Amino acid sequence: MGRTVALVGFVAAVFAAGVYCAARPTYASGDVLAQDLVEANGSSVESMKCDDHVPVGAAGARFRCMISYKNHAIGEQEFTMDREGMIHAAKDDHEPAPKVKRTADPWGD
């Protein structure tokens, strides 16, 4: 009986520790993200400065960077990072949605 209670207590403690760790937010360092982006775009980018602490969730992350180009231009770009860690330039949210072609088929719309 004592071993069973100890085993149940151990399983409950491990479960509680797992829930605690899963609930803690994860942050990516902006300096590390900037370094990766400069290495990937070294032919045109001189330096980058990204958000300091980028919150990473289950769907990935979204962050902004200030970019200094080798031609002395300066710009700002928003990026997304997917669940696999791949970084992409974010699409402009203000682009109009493509029009949906309506058909006579109600299941095809």
- pLDDT bracket for residue 7 (50, 70, 90): confident
**Residue 63 domain-assigned (yes or no):** yes
User: CA dihedral in degrees (25, 31, 37, 41; nearest 10)?
Assistant: 170
* Domains contained in the chain, number: 1
Percent of the chain with pLDDT over 90: 30
Cα end-to-end distance, the chain, whole Å: 63
90, pLDDT greater than 60 = yes
Residue 56 falls inside a structural domain: yes
> Looking at the domain assignment, is residue 109 inside a domain?
no
Least confident of 15-24, 35-44, 59-68, 78-87: 15-24
48 lies in a domain?
Answer: yes
